[in-house]
Amino acid sequence: MHYIQVKKYSPLAKGESTKKKIRTWTSIHDIGNFYCGSRLTQEEYLHIEDQYVKAVNLYLDFKGIDSLEIRVPDKIDEELFVKYTQKYPKCYWKDIVDCYYAISNHTFIQRNFIEYAIRLSLREDIYSQMRRDNLFLSNVIMIYIWI
């Protein structure tokens, strides 16, 4: 089975055994914290998240994929999800909230819905695998995006 993964950092270069540790944000829950002297905003978070979504969409376009089967073994508790939608209102527009409630295990999702499922996965609101025939998109959706 083939799979793709979107990573925030470049892989180790030939001969490297470790990377220099950089204090950086890794989650939507880091919004409001300071990194490299500036506060992570919802807008900055969304800008980077958009890059992940764009990378996946480019791959799906390349492969001509218009739907995927999503497997959702777990979601965060609804009460906690509502709390996040209130805490990060710029990040949770109606279509994403609707996706959270509509999506379930072994659902086939159309192309316009895939973006929302990816965003929910990146935000750790759902834990998912997306599949299509021999293609597998993991929760850590190997396309590199360097920021």
Mean pLDDT of the chain: 82
Higher pLDDT, 10 or 107: 107
The CA angle 112-114-119, to the nearest 5 degrees, is: 115
Please name which of 34, 52, 70, 83 lies closest in space to residue 145, comparing C-alpha atoms. Answer: 52
Residue 140 has what DSSP assignment? -
Mean pLDDT of the 5-28 span? 72
pLDDT single digits (tens) 92-138: 999 999 999 998 888 888 888 889 999 999 899 998 888 877 665 55
- Structure token digits, residue 100: 């959270």
CA–CA separation, 86 and 109 (whole Å)? 26
Residue-level length of the chain: 147
